[in-house]
Amino acid sequence: MNRIKGCIRKRTPVLLVGLFLSMVLVVSALGQEIESPWVWGPNLGAIGEDFVAISWNTSRPVGVDLNYSTAAVYDATEVWEETLTFEPHKGVAEIRLGNLKPGTTYRYQVVIYEGDAIYPSPVGHFTTSSQKTQSFSFLVYGDTRTFPDRHKLVADRMAVDEPNAVLVLNTGDLVESPTIARFENFFWAVGKLALSHPYLAVIGNHEKGHPRYYDFLPLPAGGGQSNEEWWSFDYGNVHFVGIDSCVATASDAVTRMREQIEWVKADLLNSDAQFKVVFFHHPIYSSTWEGGVNESLHELWEPIFLENGVDVVFNGHMHCYEHFYVKGIHYIVTGGGGAPLQDSIDEAAAGTISRRYGMLHYMRVTVAENTMQVEVVPVASVYNDEVYPLGGQSPDSFAITKTR
């Protein structure tokens, strides 16, 4: 079934016989140019073996067609196999596109229309998961707030250089503050990336627990606020778990943290995935912390990770790159997505493998059967508020090899 968030009411699947949408009319009957109703989107979100979530935002009530097809059929014929049609709707909408084939690449396009004016999105793509999926890549980055231009530089680099990555995960602090204007800048920055990369995130302290975070992002199901505050899902042989580290500062912190801990324990225990990867905003280990450790997070989470075979933990919050290896777990701080980069720290915390300051970057994770390769990808250096693009080899990479 298709789940729609918002006021879209009608769902009518039809077969599109031709690619008539190439005929785009963007002028009124008087011949005057009309402002496009697109605010952002379409963006991909939560994904599984037989579904993907798609969201978009429009500034006024418009009709919507969602066209989709397997890539094999579309690439050979340029004909859409299916179309879902929705009544006029204004604002944010989210649909869960279901009944898809596991392990299959799809093309899709969202077209909004009013009268004779038609506004098609670019054609995007996604690949559903499968239990047989053993080789794929996904991307991780975080702290994308404050400088939308810098964020767009990183996001566009990911979109162009990693076209076949199946997922993108953000470690939090998406926006400086959860205003509509800040979120519009965020979605402007990720527009090219989220079109063809399912985009997931954990909440950071700058989101302030605001409902817009949950309303605007199509996240996996789990628990807590909107049933999306903490979540998990499988893609191939990897189990992904997202946690809210901001719960510790909430007014009902004790109750909510206990609920989250019990949920995560049960979730990790019930997973038999070959690799287990965890995401949350505030790092356990960082040279920025006094003594190099956030003791409260360390006490809460590390025993659970150790008991349940977690391989890698990704965090943000610190606006730098750090890699720690502690008791068999790799801890990665990736806060180079667009926030103000912090100055270097002289003393490295215990367990430090590598660290970089002043570098916009993202993480590339490549899974190939029983090996997971993790590497940091430099995008640009920032010096005296000037941005200098970077290329070349990764300054830090490592591999994890496991057998079931």
Give the residue extent of every domain in the chain: 4-127, 135-401
Q: Kindly state the tokens that stand for 254.
A: 């004790």
The rounded distance, in Å, linking the Cα atoms of 315 and 206 is 14
Measured between its terminal Cα atoms, the distance across the chain in Å is 34
Specify the length of the chain in residues: 404
- CB-CB contact of 214 with 225 (8 Å): yes
Q: Which residue type sits at 191?
A: G
- CB-CB contact of 324 with 352 (8 Å): yes
Long-range contacts of 261-265 (CB under 8 A, 24+ apart): 261/300, 261/304, 263/222, 263/223, 263/230, 264/230, 264/304, 265/304, 265/308
What does pTM read for this prediction?
Answer: 0.92
Q: Kindly state the tokens that stand for 206.
A: 């700058």
List the pLDDT tens digit at each of the 404 positions of the chain.
344 444 333 333 333 333 333 334 443 444 445 789 999 999 999 999 999 999 999 999 999 999 999 999 999 999 999 999 999 999 999 999 999 999 999 999 999 999 889 999 999 999 999 999 989 999 999 999 999 999 999 999 999 999 999 999 999 999 999 999 999 999 999 999 999 999 999 999 999 999 999 999 999 999 999 999 999 999 999 999 999 999 866 667 788 999 999 999 999 999 999 999 999 999 999 999 999 999 999 999 999 999 999 999 999 999 999 999 999 999 999 999 999 999 999 999 999 999 999 999 999 999 998 999 999 999 999 999 999 999 889 999 999 998 76
CATH number of 4-127: 2.60.40.10
The rounded distance, in Å, linking the Cα atoms of 180 and 199 is 19
CATH number of 135-401: 3.60.21.10
What sections of 94-248 are H helices per DSSP? 148-161, 180-189, 191-196, 211-216
**Nearest of 331, 387, 369 to residue 147 by alpha carbon:** 387
